[in-house]
Amino acid sequence: MILNGKEVALEIENNLKEIINKYNTKPVLVTIIVGNKIESITYVNMKLKACERVGIIGKRLELDENISEEDLINEIEKLNEYTSVSGILIQHPLPSHLNEQEIFNYIDPKKDVDGLNATSFGNVVMGLPSFVPATPGAIMAILKYYNIDLEGKKAVVVGRSNILGKPVAMLLLNANATVTICHSKTKDLDNILKEADVVVAALGKPRYIKASLLKKGSVIIDAGYNEGNIGDVDLDKIDESISYTPVPGGVGPVTIAKLLEQTVNAFERR
């Protein structure tokens, strides 16, 4: 079965339209973009179009790629103070001279709709209410939409980044899955994959995980996005009993929808 992310995203967006229409004012989402990388600009434009579809006021704050950490933090703190701003996003990756995590930590957790503040991550680990990183949140939304039971299942996360691998592992653990995190130093990855009921591929290597390694009846969430619209899983000769997210059209659309959903949640809480 193909786990169609566009279908999941559409349901989220339709729900958000109904919520937003109840209010006289609208949520405001500000995306900070540092520099002018084509990929970042394209992704920000996708977010702004999605905002427009559901009724969120999407704004873009463009900053010079050579901006100092101090000046960038000052811009974030201004947005923290604006009561009209519901959510703040920082388009990453940031230029190499900037400490990403330190900068993320200056976002007010109440406006951290991308869930990248260390406080937000800590709450996720503890199973407390929090905004979650958008892509891990999207993965969980897809699993929920397709009624995939996680309790007691063996889940394998391939990748341990702070914005994807680690947080999605915690979310799966909170859903009572038995979670294994694999990474570049993991030994015997092939046999670990063969045992998995659920695999989350989040390593950023095109077609690295082969379909032949996947257990019959398993669920594969491909969160990789590589040049040429290629995921981290090679779906060639995949068994028809396996459910999987396509690339593109799988996790990506739901990631943006989760950003919008968390912006509306922040708006309602304020």
Give the active site residues. Answer: 47, 91, 114
Taking a C-beta distance cutoff of 8 angstroms, is the pair 221, 249 a contact? no
Residue 155 one-letter amino acid? A
What's the CA gap between 187 and 191, in Å, rounded? 9
Taking a C-beta distance cutoff of 8 angstroms, is the pair 203, 232 a contact? yes
The number of helix segments (H) and strand segments (E) in the chain equals: 9, 10
H-run or E-run covering 84: none
Q: Each residue of 24-61: b (16+ CB within 10 Å) or e?
A: eebbbbbbbbbbeeeebeebbeebbebbeebbbbbebb
What's the CA gap between 177 and 111, in Å, rounded? 29
> Position of tokens 């309602």?
268
- What are the backbone angles phi and psi of residue 137, rounded to the nearest 5°? -60, -40
DSSP-assigned letter for residue 98: S
DSSP-assigned letter for residue 200: E
Point out which residues pair with 38 in neighbouring strands.
none
Taking a C-beta distance cutoff of 8 angstroms, is the pair 231, 222 a contact? yes
